[in-house]
Amino acid sequence: MSEGFSIRDELTSEQRTAELGLTIDPGFVHQRKIETLLGRDLMRHVDEAIRRLPELPDYMRRVRVDHIYTKALLLFCAHAGTPSLLGLLAARRGHLFCSIVELGAAQEIEAGRAINSVETPGVEGTRVDLEYSTDHIVASTTRSELRRGASMAVVAELRDFKDGVLTFHPLLMGGPWLNDDRQEGVVPSPEWLGQDFYEIFVEDIDEFSAVRGGEIAADFNAMRRISESAFKACLAEILGDSTTRDWGGETSDHFAAHLHLNGRATTAAFLLKGPARFAPMALNHLGKNNDQIYRLAQEPAQLLVVQHSHDITSPVRATLRAFAVQPGNPRRYCLMDGRDSLRVLTAYGKLERALELSSGSDSSSPT
C-alpha cells in the first residue's frame, strides 16, 4: 500500500467490508517439512492436485506446485487453529505459528544458511529468530526482501529455545496476498492493500450506522467522566444485548453474537478500557506480553474490537492486527478510540445515560 494511503479515507464502507481472502505468495517453500507436517493422508490431496496439472513448462509447473503446497499448508493451519507468533509467545506453548511478521535484515544470506530476527512488540525477555537454508528460496523478490528485512507472511516450526532465544525453522515464507476469491469486484486491485485491509471502523458496523456522515469531534474530554462499566452498559443497550459481570478469567469484556457488516452477520468480541488512566493507550495498558489482546483473540469472534476512552497508539494497532490477521484465516479488527466512543454514545442518545451511570446517580444496573 502506498505511503499516505488511508483505508478510512480512500475506501468506501462497502469496499472495506468486502470478503477478500488472504494467502501467501510463496517465495520460500520447504516441501519436505510441509509433507512431514501434513502426513500421508493429507498429502494424498496434494498429490492429486499436482496430478491434475496440465502440461506446462518446467518453471511454470514448479510455481503451480508451490502454490498447491501453500494452499494445503494454510488450510491445515486454519483447521488446526495454529496461533499467530504473538499468540504462541503469550501462551508459552505450541510448536507452529502462522503470522505476518516484521523481519530484520538477514545475516549471511549468500552463505547457504541465513538468520532473520523477528520483531515482537511488547514481548520482553525473549528473542525470536528465523533460521533457514537459502536453497528453499524460490523467488528473487523474496530473497531481496529477506536480505534487507521486510514484512513477511510466515509459517514456521519451533526448533530450539536456548539462552532466551527462540529459533524457528520456516516451512513457508512470502508476501501476504489479498485476493478476491468470490470475484465480487468491489475492491479494485486488492493486491495493493496489504494486511491493513482488515481494519474496519465504527461506521462500518451496521449497528452503529447512526454515526455515518457525522464529523469526528476533536474534543472528547467527556469520555474522562465515563466509566468502563457505564460504557459497557450503554454499548449493550445499543446492541440489544445483555451484560455479565466482569471476572478475572474472562477473555473479553463483551461478546456480541449478532452484529452485521454491510448486511452480513458477524460476531464480535470487545476489550473495553475506561478512563482509569485518561491517556493514550500504549502496550503497557494491556498487561504483560499483551495478554489482554491475547485473551481477546481467544474468543471465537470474527471481529476483534479494542475500545478506549482516549487515543490508541500505533503499536497497539499493530499488535491487534498481528493477532487478528493470519494468512488463510484473517479476522477483522477495529479500534474505537475516545472520539469514536463519544460519537457512538452521542448518535444513540446515550451520553447522558453514560454520565449518570458513571456518577452513580442512576441506581439501575445492566442486566
Q: What is the DSSP string of 247-268?
A: -TT-S-SEEEEEEEETTEEEEE
Q: What is the pLDDT of residues 264-307, one digit of tens each?
A: 999 999 999 988 889 999 988 887 656 899 999 999 999 999 99
Give dist(CA 284, CA 281) in Å, integer. 8
Mean pLDDT estimate for the chain: 91
In three-state secondary structure terms, 168 is: strand
Domain around 169: 21-179
Give dist(CA 367, CA 357) in Å, integer. 14
Q: State whether 214 and 289 are in the same domain.
A: yes
CA distances from 172 to 93, 106, 241 (A): 21, 16, 42
CA distances from 325 to 149, 199, 319 (A): 20, 9, 10
Q: State whether 68 and 207 are in the same domain.
A: no
Cell of 31: 516441501
Q: State whether 347 and 233 are in the same domain.
A: yes
Size of the chain in residues: 367
Is residue 9 a contact partner of residue 170, using CB atoms and an 8 Å limit?
no
Looking at the predicted structure, is the pLDDT value of residue 367 above 70? no
Q: State whether 144 and 197 are in the same domain.
A: no
Question: Between 246 and 357, whose confidence is greater?
Answer: 357
Residue 28 lies in a domain: yes
Give me the pLDDT at residue 365, please.
Answer: 41
Q: How confident is the model at residue 246 (pLDDT cuts 50, 70, 90)?
A: low
Threshold 0.95, pTM exceeds: no
Give dist(CA 15, CA 190) in Å, integer. 10
Q: State whether 345 and 302 are in the same domain.
A: yes
Q: Which of 170, 19, 40 is nearest to 106 (CA)?
A: 170
Q: Mean of the pLDDT values across residues 70-90?
A: 96
Cell of 364: 439501575
- List residues bridging with 3 in a β-sheet: none
Of 157, 179, 201, the domain-final residue: 179
Is residue 198 a contact partner of residue 303, using CB atoms and an 8 Å limit?
no
Number of domains in the chain: 2
CATH code of 100's domain: 2.40.50
Cell of 352: 447522558
Give me the pLDDT at residue 295, please.
Answer: 93
